[in-house]
Amino acid sequence: MAIETEAIVVSNRKIQSVYFRLEIRCPPIVQRIEPGQFVMLRVAQTSSFLLRRPFSVYRTLSARHPGGSRKGRLVLIYKKVGKGTEKMTALKEGETVDVIGPLGNGFLLPPLPSSANIVLIGGGVGIVSLYSLAETLKAGNLSVFVGGKTKQDVLCVKDFRKLKATVFTATEDGSLGFKGTVIDLFRSEKRKFKGNGVCHVYACGPMAMLKELSKTVRSKRFISQASLETRMACGFGACYGCVVKTRDPETPYLRVCKEGPVFDLRKIVWE
Protein backbone atom coordinates (compact mmCIF):
# COMPACT_ATOMS: atom_id res chain seq x y z
CA MET A 1 0.00 0.00 0.00
CA ALA A 2 1.35 3.39 -1.00
CA ILE A 3 2.04 6.03 1.61
CA GLU A 4 2.97 9.71 1.47
CA THR A 5 5.98 10.77 3.48
CA GLU A 6 8.51 13.56 3.81
CA ALA A 7 11.95 12.31 2.84
CA ILE A 8 15.25 13.88 3.82
CA VAL A 9 17.90 14.45 1.15
CA VAL A 10 21.13 12.64 2.05
CA SER A 11 23.07 13.45 -1.13
CA ASN A 12 22.46 14.71 -4.65
CA ARG A 13 25.25 14.75 -7.21
CA LYS A 14 25.95 14.62 -10.91
CA ILE A 15 27.28 11.27 -12.06
CA GLN A 16 27.83 12.12 -15.73
CA SER A 17 26.54 14.49 -18.39
CA VAL A 18 22.87 15.25 -17.55
CA TYR A 19 22.44 12.34 -15.11
CA PHE A 20 22.22 12.72 -11.35
CA ARG A 21 22.10 10.43 -8.31
CA LEU A 22 19.70 11.39 -5.52
CA GLU A 23 19.76 9.55 -2.19
CA ILE A 24 16.93 10.18 0.26
CA ARG A 25 16.02 8.79 3.66
CA CYS A 26 12.44 7.43 3.75
CA PRO A 27 12.28 4.17 5.79
CA PRO A 28 8.48 3.66 5.46
CA ILE A 29 8.71 3.32 1.66
CA VAL A 30 12.00 1.41 1.67
CA GLN A 31 10.45 -1.25 3.88
CA ARG A 32 7.64 -1.88 1.36
CA ILE A 33 9.05 -1.39 -2.12
CA GLU A 34 9.83 -4.22 -4.55
CA PRO A 35 11.95 -4.24 -7.75
CA GLY A 36 10.09 -2.57 -10.60
CA GLN A 37 7.83 -0.39 -8.50
CA PHE A 38 8.23 3.39 -8.58
CA VAL A 39 7.71 6.54 -6.52
CA MET A 40 6.20 9.95 -7.23
CA LEU A 41 8.28 12.88 -6.02
CA ARG A 42 7.49 16.57 -5.55
CA VAL A 43 10.33 18.98 -4.90
CA ALA A 44 8.35 22.21 -4.32
CA GLN A 45 4.84 23.41 -3.54
CA THR A 46 4.81 26.21 -6.11
CA SER A 47 2.26 26.17 -8.94
CA SER A 48 5.00 25.46 -11.47
CA PHE A 49 5.91 22.19 -9.77
CA LEU A 50 2.59 21.10 -8.27
CA LEU A 51 2.51 17.74 -10.06
CA ARG A 52 4.76 14.98 -8.83
CA ARG A 53 7.22 13.27 -11.16
CA PRO A 54 7.47 9.47 -11.41
CA PHE A 55 10.88 7.89 -10.82
CA SER A 56 12.13 4.34 -11.00
CA VAL A 57 14.02 3.20 -7.94
CA TYR A 58 17.66 2.35 -8.55
CA ARG A 59 18.21 0.60 -5.25
CA THR A 60 17.15 0.54 -1.64
CA LEU A 61 19.28 0.28 1.49
CA SER A 62 17.28 -1.64 4.05
CA ALA A 63 17.68 -4.48 6.51
CA ARG A 64 18.25 -6.70 3.48
CA HIS A 65 21.22 -4.54 2.45
CA PRO A 66 23.64 -4.24 5.38
CA GLY A 67 24.81 -0.67 5.73
CA GLY A 68 24.54 0.42 9.36
CA SER A 69 23.27 3.98 9.48
CA ARG A 70 22.54 3.90 5.74
CA LYS A 71 19.47 1.72 6.25
CA GLY A 72 16.17 3.22 5.17
CA ARG A 73 17.58 5.05 2.17
CA LEU A 74 16.26 5.07 -1.36
CA VAL A 75 18.45 5.86 -4.38
CA LEU A 76 17.17 7.45 -7.59
CA ILE A 77 19.14 8.08 -10.75
CA TYR A 78 17.47 10.73 -12.90
CA LYS A 79 18.05 12.69 -16.07
CA LYS A 80 17.76 16.47 -16.22
CA VAL A 81 15.23 16.98 -19.00
CA GLY A 82 12.93 19.83 -17.92
CA LYS A 83 12.14 22.42 -15.27
CA GLY A 84 11.10 19.82 -12.70
CA THR A 85 14.26 17.75 -12.88
CA GLU A 86 16.35 20.92 -13.17
CA LYS A 87 14.84 21.98 -9.85
CA MET A 88 15.82 18.59 -8.43
CA THR A 89 19.47 19.13 -9.27
CA ALA A 90 19.56 22.00 -6.76
CA LEU A 91 18.42 19.83 -3.82
CA LYS A 92 20.93 19.86 -0.98
CA GLU A 93 21.67 17.62 1.97
CA GLY A 94 19.15 18.09 4.76
CA GLU A 95 16.36 19.46 2.57
CA THR A 96 13.09 17.56 2.26
CA VAL A 97 10.99 16.28 -0.61
CA ASP A 98 7.45 14.92 -0.68
CA VAL A 99 7.33 11.27 -1.81
CA ILE A 100 4.50 8.81 -2.46
CA GLY A 101 5.22 5.12 -2.89
CA PRO A 102 5.60 2.33 -3.53
CA LEU A 103 3.41 2.53 -6.63
CA GLY A 104 2.53 0.10 -9.40
CA ASN A 105 3.36 -3.56 -9.79
CA GLY A 106 6.92 -4.78 -10.01
CA PHE A 107 8.71 -7.62 -11.77
CA LEU A 108 7.71 -11.25 -11.31
CA LEU A 109 10.80 -13.19 -10.27
CA PRO A 110 11.72 -16.53 -11.83
CA PRO A 111 11.49 -19.63 -9.64
CA LEU A 112 14.56 -19.75 -7.41
CA PRO A 113 16.99 -21.35 -7.34
CA SER A 114 16.97 -21.30 -11.12
CA SER A 115 19.45 -22.46 -13.75
CA ALA A 116 17.73 -20.41 -16.44
CA ASN A 117 19.49 -17.62 -18.25
CA ILE A 118 18.48 -14.18 -17.03
CA VAL A 119 18.88 -11.18 -19.32
CA LEU A 120 18.36 -7.52 -18.40
CA ILE A 121 18.06 -4.97 -21.21
CA GLY A 122 18.03 -1.23 -20.55
CA GLY A 123 17.98 1.72 -22.92
CA GLY A 124 19.24 5.03 -21.54
CA VAL A 125 17.84 5.84 -18.10
CA GLY A 126 15.65 2.72 -18.42
CA ILE A 127 18.50 0.63 -17.04
CA VAL A 128 17.90 2.27 -13.66
CA SER A 129 14.81 0.20 -12.85
CA LEU A 130 16.72 -3.05 -13.43
CA TYR A 131 19.52 -2.72 -10.88
CA SER A 132 17.43 -3.48 -7.78
CA LEU A 133 16.09 -6.50 -9.68
CA ALA A 134 19.64 -7.69 -10.33
CA GLU A 135 20.48 -7.30 -6.64
CA THR A 136 17.43 -9.34 -5.68
CA LEU A 137 18.08 -12.12 -8.20
CA LYS A 138 21.72 -12.67 -7.24
CA ALA A 139 21.94 -14.93 -10.27
CA GLY A 140 25.20 -16.43 -11.43
CA ASN A 141 24.10 -16.54 -15.08
CA LEU A 142 23.06 -12.91 -15.40
CA SER A 143 23.65 -10.96 -18.62
CA VAL A 144 23.03 -7.21 -18.81
CA PHE A 145 22.67 -5.21 -22.01
CA VAL A 146 23.07 -1.44 -21.55
CA GLY A 147 22.49 1.00 -24.38
CA GLY A 148 22.47 4.72 -25.09
CA LYS A 149 22.81 7.25 -27.88
CA THR A 150 26.38 8.05 -26.81
CA LYS A 151 28.78 6.83 -24.14
CA GLN A 152 27.47 9.62 -21.90
CA ASP A 153 24.07 7.88 -21.90
CA VAL A 154 25.41 4.47 -20.81
CA LEU A 155 24.73 4.13 -17.10
CA CYS A 156 25.49 1.86 -14.15
CA VAL A 157 27.91 -0.50 -15.90
CA LYS A 158 30.38 -0.64 -13.00
CA ASP A 159 27.61 -1.40 -10.51
CA PHE A 160 26.32 -4.32 -12.56
CA ARG A 161 29.83 -5.71 -12.91
CA LYS A 162 30.17 -5.65 -9.12
CA LEU A 163 27.26 -8.10 -9.09
CA LYS A 164 29.34 -10.46 -11.28
CA ALA A 165 27.04 -9.90 -14.25
CA THR A 166 28.25 -10.20 -17.84
CA VAL A 167 27.74 -6.70 -19.23
CA PHE A 168 27.34 -5.75 -22.90
CA THR A 169 27.27 -2.11 -24.01
CA ALA A 170 25.95 -0.43 -27.15
CA THR A 171 25.89 3.14 -28.41
CA GLU A 172 24.18 4.44 -31.49
CA ASP A 173 27.18 6.59 -32.42
CA GLY A 174 29.73 3.85 -31.70
CA SER A 175 31.48 5.83 -28.97
CA LEU A 176 31.33 2.86 -26.57
CA GLY A 177 30.97 -0.85 -27.22
CA PHE A 178 28.79 -2.16 -30.05
CA LYS A 179 27.72 0.41 -32.64
CA GLY A 180 23.94 0.33 -32.91
CA THR A 181 20.96 0.06 -30.62
CA VAL A 182 20.90 -2.14 -27.54
CA ILE A 183 18.36 -4.38 -29.31
CA ASP A 184 20.71 -4.75 -32.30
CA LEU A 185 23.35 -5.84 -29.81
CA PHE A 186 21.01 -8.31 -28.10
CA ARG A 187 20.08 -9.81 -31.48
CA SER A 188 23.76 -10.29 -32.29
CA GLU A 189 24.30 -12.14 -28.99
CA LYS A 190 20.96 -13.95 -28.78
CA ARG A 191 22.37 -17.24 -30.07
CA LYS A 192 24.25 -17.56 -26.77
CA PHE A 193 20.93 -18.06 -25.02
CA LYS A 194 19.54 -20.67 -27.40
CA GLY A 195 19.49 -24.33 -26.49
CA ASN A 196 19.86 -23.62 -22.77
CA GLY A 197 16.23 -23.91 -21.72
CA VAL A 198 14.12 -20.97 -20.62
CA CYS A 199 15.52 -17.44 -20.74
CA HIS A 200 13.96 -14.75 -18.56
CA VAL A 201 14.19 -11.31 -20.16
CA TYR A 202 13.54 -8.11 -18.20
CA ALA A 203 13.62 -4.78 -20.04
CA CYS A 204 13.01 -1.07 -19.64
CA GLY A 205 13.48 1.77 -22.08
CA PRO A 206 11.76 3.85 -24.76
CA MET A 207 8.63 2.41 -26.37
CA ALA A 208 10.38 2.05 -29.73
CA MET A 209 13.08 -0.06 -28.10
CA LEU A 210 10.55 -2.34 -26.40
CA LYS A 211 8.61 -2.72 -29.63
CA GLU A 212 11.75 -3.98 -31.38
CA LEU A 213 12.49 -6.29 -28.47
CA SER A 214 9.01 -7.80 -28.71
CA LYS A 215 9.83 -8.89 -32.28
CA THR A 216 13.05 -10.51 -31.09
CA VAL A 217 11.73 -12.65 -28.23
CA ARG A 218 8.69 -14.27 -29.84
CA SER A 219 9.94 -17.77 -29.12
CA LYS A 220 8.31 -19.51 -26.15
CA ARG A 221 11.83 -20.00 -24.83
CA PHE A 222 11.82 -16.35 -23.80
CA ILE A 223 9.72 -15.24 -20.84
CA SER A 224 9.76 -11.47 -21.22
CA GLN A 225 8.65 -8.63 -18.97
CA ALA A 226 8.99 -4.93 -19.68
CA SER A 227 8.69 -1.85 -17.51
CA LEU A 228 7.05 0.86 -19.62
CA GLU A 229 8.23 4.46 -19.64
CA THR A 230 5.37 6.89 -20.10
CA ARG A 231 4.12 10.24 -18.84
CA MET A 232 2.10 10.02 -15.64
CA ALA A 233 0.01 12.63 -13.88
CA CYS A 234 -1.51 11.07 -10.78
CA GLY A 235 0.34 7.76 -10.26
CA PHE A 236 -2.79 6.09 -8.86
CA GLY A 237 -4.76 5.25 -12.00
CA ALA A 238 -7.42 7.88 -11.43
CA CYS A 239 -6.77 10.07 -14.47
CA TYR A 240 -6.35 7.32 -17.11
CA GLY A 241 -3.66 9.41 -18.75
CA CYS A 242 -1.15 6.58 -19.16
CA VAL A 243 -3.12 3.70 -20.67
CA VAL A 244 -1.63 1.14 -23.07
CA LYS A 245 -3.47 -1.17 -25.45
CA THR A 246 -3.33 -4.90 -24.74
CA ARG A 247 -4.26 -8.09 -26.57
CA ASP A 248 -6.71 -9.17 -23.87
CA PRO A 249 -10.32 -8.62 -25.11
CA GLU A 250 -11.56 -8.38 -21.51
CA THR A 251 -9.05 -5.67 -20.56
CA PRO A 252 -8.09 -3.97 -23.85
CA TYR A 253 -6.57 -1.01 -22.04
CA LEU A 254 -4.47 -1.00 -18.87
CA ARG A 255 -2.99 1.84 -16.84
CA VAL A 256 0.80 1.91 -16.68
CA CYS A 257 0.80 3.48 -13.22
CA LYS A 258 -1.76 1.05 -11.73
CA GLU A 259 -1.69 -2.31 -13.53
CA GLY A 260 1.93 -1.70 -14.62
CA PRO A 261 4.50 -0.37 -15.05
CA VAL A 262 5.65 -3.97 -15.61
CA PHE A 263 3.80 -6.01 -18.24
CA ASP A 264 4.22 -9.26 -20.11
CA LEU A 265 5.88 -8.07 -23.30
CA ARG A 266 3.64 -10.25 -25.50
CA LYS A 267 0.43 -8.74 -24.13
CA ILE A 268 1.12 -5.20 -25.33
CA VAL A 269 -0.14 -3.98 -28.70
CA TRP A 270 2.74 -1.99 -30.17
CA GLU A 271 1.18 0.65 -32.41
Q: How many CB atoms lie within 10 A of CB 201?
A: 23
- Fill in the amino acid letter for 45: Q
Note the Cα 96 to chain centre separation in Å. 23
SS3 216: helix
Q: How many CB atoms lie within 10 A of CB 115?
A: 11
Would you state the CATH architecture of domain 3-103? Beta Barrel (2.40)
Model pLDDT, residue 69 = 58
Model confidence pLDDT, tens digit, residues 95-125 = 999 999 999 999 999 876 566 789 999 999 9
Model confidence pLDDT, tens digit, residues 164-191 = 999 999 999 999 999 999 999 999 999 8
Q: Where do the CATH 2.40.30.10 domains begin and end in the chain?
A: 3-103
Model confidence pLDDT, tens digit, residues 46-79 = 445 556 889 999 999 875 555 545 689 999 999 9
**253-255 and 243-245: which strand pairing?**
antiparallel
With bands split at pLDDT 50, 70 and 90, how would you rate the model's confidence at 43? Answer: confident
**What dotted CATH number matches 117-228?**
3.40.50.80
Q: Flag whether pLDDT at 229 surpasses 60.
A: yes
> Across all residues in the chain, what is the average pLDDT?
90
